[in-house]
Amino acid sequence: MDAEPSAATSSDARLPAVQLFTDGACSGNPGPGGWAYILRHPQTGTQREGSGGLAETTNNQMELQAVIEGLAALKRRSQVEIITDSTYVAKGSSEWMPNWKKNGWRRREKSSWKPVMNVEFWKRLDELLQQHDCRFTIVKGHAGHAENERCDVLAVAAAKQFA
């Protein structure tokens, strides 16, 4: 599933294209967690990996942190395809976030307003998404997708440091 790309300008066609593969993991929810990313430049084939974690976190926070860290690692504005197994991150970024922002980072729950969960992560992700031309692709987790599997290995290893 592809989410809609952000609004592109005519100069965006000249931006470098990169792929950002991400995953988050958590042992317990909350519990020790890890995040990981692979950044790949398809034209050159170069890539780099990053990972880290926290002693007390949630799976959704680690999924968000993986995308945050991957985007933060980019040195200049790029066209970024973000490949994730997290529907929460992909839909949150492309579908839900505009209304959250419009409503003061609140979401409607039945007849009342509730604060958006993980709002500090979402605000940081919003800042980074605005610096690039991003689109999301959702892949099925634990289904043999090579980069998703590699990110999972890295994220689980990072989480184990805190277990």
Each domain of the chain, given as residue ranges in start order, spans 16-160
User: Does the global pTM surpass 0.85?
Assistant: yes
Is 152 labeled as catalytic in the residue annotation?
Answer: yes
Helix residue spans in the chain (DSSP H): 59-72, 87-91, 97-102, 119-130, 146-160
Give the model's pLDDT for residue 14: 86
Give the model's pLDDT for residue 3: 44
Structure confidence at residue 13 as a pLDDT band (50, 70, 90): low
Is 95 labeled as catalytic in the residue annotation?
Answer: no
Is 23 labeled as catalytic in the residue annotation?
Answer: yes
Instruction: Please determine, for residue 8, whether its predicted confidence score (pLDDT) is greater than 90.
Output: no
How many other CB atoms sit within 10 Å of the CB of residue 72? 14
> What is d(CA 40, CA 83) in angstroms, rounded to the nearest whole number?
11
Question: For the segment 26-54, what is each residue's pLDDT rounded down to a tens digit?
Answer: 999 999 999 999 999 999 999 999 999 99
Structure confidence at residue 7 as a pLDDT band (50, 70, 90): very low
Quote the CATH superfamily of domain 16-160.
Ribonuclease H-like superfamily/Ribonuclease H (3.30.420.10)
- Counting residues of the chain whose pLDDT is more than 90, the rounded percentage is 87
Question: For the segment 56-115, what is each residue's pLDDT rounded down to a tens digit?
Answer: 999 999 999 999 999 999 999 999 999 999 999 999 999 999 999 999 999 999 999 999
> Tokens for 115?
């604060």
Is 12 labeled as catalytic in the residue annotation?
Answer: no
> What is d(CA 52, CA 65) in angstroms, rounded to the nearest whole number?
9
- The active-site residue out of 34, 52, 81, 85 is 85
- The active-site residue out of 33, 52, 63, 69 is 63
